[in-house]
């Protein structure tokens, strides 16, 4: 959680999927302070979209954030994705659906409410393990 679905009438090139996923993750985490490890991105191709829409981004996000944050998140996603593909922002539609954190599990554990991540023991343990893996991978690339 969050789960972002990128829907397009054609396929998004494989070479663009990782950088687009990172853009979505970075935008989400920057505005919400959610941990990167919770962001998921799926790609759906051959999806019919409304006239004039090139990309539709549908997201399930944790309920509990202000409408201002959600509005900014929608607008920044729309603008960032449009810039990424070099298209007008009107060609990108964004839909956010709020889901209570208690309805979602990651690794068999219920998600914390927004803003309660720091006090969630299992999440802090996972975040430390992810950070350790990143450090280990960085060391391997240096040798």
pLDDT digits (tens, 9 = 90+) for 97-121: 999 988 988 778 888 787 777 777 8
Question: Positive or negative CA dihedral for 74, 34, 141, 137?
Answer: negative
Give me the chain's average pLDDT, please: 89
Query: CA triplet 61, 21, 35: central angle to 5 degrees?
Result: 50
pLDDT digits (tens, 9 = 90+) for 76-90: 999 999 999 999 999
Q: Domain-by-domain residue ranges, the chain?
A: 3-142
pLDDT digits (tens, 9 = 90+) for 4-57: 999 999 999 999 999 999 999 999 999 988 878 889 999 999 999 999 999 999
Statement: the pTM of the whole predicted model exceeds 0.85: no
For residue 116, the model assigns a pLDDT of: 78
Q: In this structure, which CATH number among 3.30.429.10, 3.40.50.300, 1.10.3720.10, 3.40.50.720 belongs to the domain 3-142?
A: 3.30.429.10
Residue with the larger pLDDT of the pair 68 and 109: 68
């Amino acid at each position: 959680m969050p789960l972002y679905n990128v829907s397009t009438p054609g396929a998004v090139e494989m070479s663009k999927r990782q950088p687009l996923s990172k853009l979505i993750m970075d935008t989400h985490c920057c505005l919400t302070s959610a941990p990167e490890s919770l962001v998921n991105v799926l790609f759906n191709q051959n999806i019919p979209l409304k006239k004039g829409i090139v990309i539709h981004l549908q997201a399930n996000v944790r309920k509990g954030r202000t409408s201002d944050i959600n509005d900014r998140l929608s607008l920044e996603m729309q603008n960032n994705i449009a810039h990424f593909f070099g298209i007008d922002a009107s060609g990108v539609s964004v839909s956010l659906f709020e889901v209570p954190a208690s309805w979602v599990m990651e690794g068999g554990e219920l998600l914390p409410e927004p803003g309660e991540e720091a006090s969630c023991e299992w999440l802090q343990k996972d975040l430390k393990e992810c950070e350790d893996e990143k450090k280990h991978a960085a060391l391997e690339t240096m040798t």
